[in-house]
Structure 1
């Protein structure tokens, strides 16, 4: 039996949540059971109460606001614990068309993709202004290059992914999971598809960021961190080689003047060049160490994946007993 769980991260969405829930599909081809999961990320209104009254199957409550990335992580953990075979993430504000869930689920359900992204056709989307279109296209092009994927709408939050993909992805950012998830998926060689979807006009300003410059800054940091995490050797060795090459220029200048018999007045070139060469060697060494740490990360992720799958196969009682036994061992060691 194939179970689909549609998760909806929420922050003060009591007013619009009923319309969003009403638009969700009740049945889909190839799906035996559909359930809903609302992640109430510290809302001060009655978001959780609305979800309960509308019969949402699973509700995750954060006592205070933790941000979109943490809400996404909490939802994924809950959906996996509830036995989801496919997970869909959508927004609570009604930006996405509920009927299009069938479009993004189909490639995953058919085994054609591990992850399917809803493409909002940013270049010609009537709900986006010219500035937003340009920024979205530039950002997607950057993520596409860094993740080695062919996705045209990298920051779309409307996406479906298989159970295996959800288990393999470990979100590390505190801002937005979208670009972090894509870079990870690309570097882990997961199959990623993209399908066109419909969108509705925004009903309110974004709660993820307060201004466009803030969004660019946060997204840039997320992309840089994610790329460096999975390509540490390339990043640090590249920077080290750049520093070394720049350092050779003043050293070459100094040697030129030495051959001309005028080296005494240009010792500063030798000092600057030597300092840059030292920096280059140190940065390259950091790259090697970072690559070793990245290798250890891969081993830890593989162990985490196996542990998750073992826990899923354990009955609830045995899992609880296993947790108690592990806690007892830790107490004895302490």
Structure 2
């Protein structure tokens, strides 16, 4: 049974999530990661330039766009004011901040952002490491991951490439983004189930442990609708039809492995693995967005609404989303993913914001789960 919540409740929950997000830190270093070159990467703190905070900013910007909440916009501006003067390593994961910075430029028209956006876009298009057939190699802090493609790349770098292509009127960026989606689908989406493997290596010509990792899959459920909304292809465009078909294949499989609680497991086809909050939030956002824009069949709306109920059930009174797995590198077997620790993490907060923002938009339209409000 669908539980309808009014706009005030949804907004209050989102704002609680955001307040928790901006105060996240890791003073003991429990969730820091030591990478191959010996560097220590802070995966938990919001005030640190890594993909984790980048996804956090993305959720904040989505909420600002539908509410015009100046406090939220100011927090985004302040984050970039603090971080842009720092020396930042360019890699696949640190690129995701450009999604929010491009939007920030459109809103503020602050020309100081343009050379930064141009520099990062040029780096990604012209200089980033590539795999066989030109795939974006998933380079992270301290690790080149040679000849490896990961599903995270579509969210962290390919969406920003398309966004910068639009901003700077560079159609070659858009075409390259299309190419990356098609290449990643070829090597990462399982033809039998429709689910996605975490990665592919051309060194071994395999999908590592062949694991259907929850959050990795959720990047796809988010990225395909976001990409299609961004580049606005004609309804009969071949790339749009292909991506839409792949999304429907994935979401059909997701509908079959959603837990009774409305959450999904961190290893999607392994019910002995723990239930995971960030993947659930990502799936919920992608499904609701996909249905709202006609990329997914309307019958999947109930799957998304079940996810919404699960998120509300797992957001604490102080705005923390429960059951969020920590930063997760490539694993060789399901057990690796099952052993990743859980905590409140910035991307979990933000992905929950994304999901509730999609729900808020449905409520504003007076339509949820096929029912008039």
TM over 0.5: no
TM range (shorter): under 0.3
TM-score when scaled to structure 1? Answer: 0.26
TM-score when scaled to structure 2? Answer: 0.24
**Larger RCO (CA under 8 A, 6+ residues apart):** 2
Which has a greater percent of strand?
Answer: 1
